[in-house]
Amino acid sequence: MHYETINSFEDACKYLKYDAAAIIPDVTGWPQWLAKFTISQIKRAVIVLAINEGKVVDYSDGTLKYEIIFYMDDQSSGFGLSFFDFVYSISLTYCGSRLSFFDKNAAKYFATHENFMELHRDALSATA
């Protein structure tokens, strides 16, 4: 599987032939929570694009798409994320395509890969 070669933001940039340093904006002076959120969202979008082999998800083609959904558990001793997958069978616009997948296994890979957990936490948790 191609997506299993993407283990980091740097791997994704290399696959897409992007300059990793040029993609990340200068967040100097931003509140820490906003800087972490912004950087994690950019990195997640690039990783998803690489996992999708550089193809942008198109909702007008009638094929199934997969989106990751997390349940955040802040009651445990640490920070927990539980993965759920969701398949689109109708066309709605409540969710953007930048974090959608063509393949259920690729979505699960991105959602559960330990190297991506910190990015998910930073994107989903607004802690300072």
Helix (H, G, I), strand (E, B), or coil: what is residue 78? coil
Question: Which residue from 46, 51, 53 is spatially nearest to 22, judged by alpha carbons?
Answer: 46
More confident residue, 31 or 61: 31
Number of separate domains in the chain: 1
pLDDT > 90 fraction of the chain, expressed in percent and rounded: 48
Helix (H, G, I), strand (E, B), or coil: what is residue 42? helix
**CA angle at residue 89 from 87 to 94, to 5 degrees?**
75
| C-alpha–C-alpha distance, residues 57 and 61, integer Å | 9
pLDDT at 59: 80
Mean pLDDT of the chain: 82
Give the domain range for residue 35: 2-124
More confident residue, 25 or 96: 25
pTM, to two decimals: 0.80
Look at residue 77 and tell me whether its pLDDT is greater than 70.
Answer: no
